[in-house]
Structure 1
Amino acid sequence: MNFDVENSKNWRPFFSRSFPRDTLPWTSVQPSDLHYENTRTEDVNILHVQIQDMLRRKMVDWREANVTTWHHVFQKRLQDIIKRGSIANGTDIEAVLAEFRNTYNIVGFALQMPYTTIQAIVDTVYSTNIYKHATNDIQFALAVHIHPYPNNILAVWIYMAHLTPK
Structure 2
Amino acid sequence: MNWRKRFRTFWNRYASQVLRKILPRLESMAARLSSTDDTQELSEILATYKMSGFPLPMSFTDVDTVIENALSTGVHLTEAKNAEFALAVHIHPYPSNVLAVWVYVAVLSRKS
TM over 0.5: yes
Aligned pair 1:80/2:21, yes or no?
yes
User: Partners of 2:42 and 2:66 in 1: how far apart?
Assistant: 25
- In structure 1, the partner of 2:41 is 96
User: Are the aligned partners of 1:110 and 1:159 in contact in 2 as well (CA < 8 Å)?
Assistant: yes
TM-score for both structures, normalised by structure 1: 0.58
User: Partners of 2:105 and 2:98 in 1: how far apart?
Assistant: 23
- In structure 2, the partner of 1:71 is 12
TM-score for both structures, normalised by structure 2: 0.83
Hey, which bits of structure 1, 4+ residues long, moved more than 4 A?
A: none
Task: Could you tell me which runs of 5 or more consecutive residues in structure 2 were left unpaired when the two chains were aligned.
Answer: 30-34
- In structure 2, the partner of 1:31 is none
CA RMSD, 1 decimal: 1.5
User: Are the aligned partners of 1:67 and 1:136 in contact in 2 as well (CA < 8 Å)?
Assistant: no
Q: What amino acid maps onto 1:70 in structure 2?
A: W
User: Are the aligned partners of 1:66 and 1:135 in contact in 2 as well (CA < 8 Å)?
Assistant: no
Aligned pair 1:162/2:94, yes or no?
no
Percentage of identical aligned residues: 37
Task: Could you tell me which runs of 5 or more consecutive residues in structure 1 were left unpaired when the two chains were aligned.
Answer: 1-57
User: Partners of 1:125 and 1:71 in 2: how far apart?
Assistant: 17
Q: Which has the higher contact order (CA 8 A, sep 6+)?
A: 2
Tell me the CA shift for residue 122 of structure 1.
1.0
Aligned pair 1:128/2:67, yes or no?
no
Larger gyration radius, structure 1 or structure 2: 1
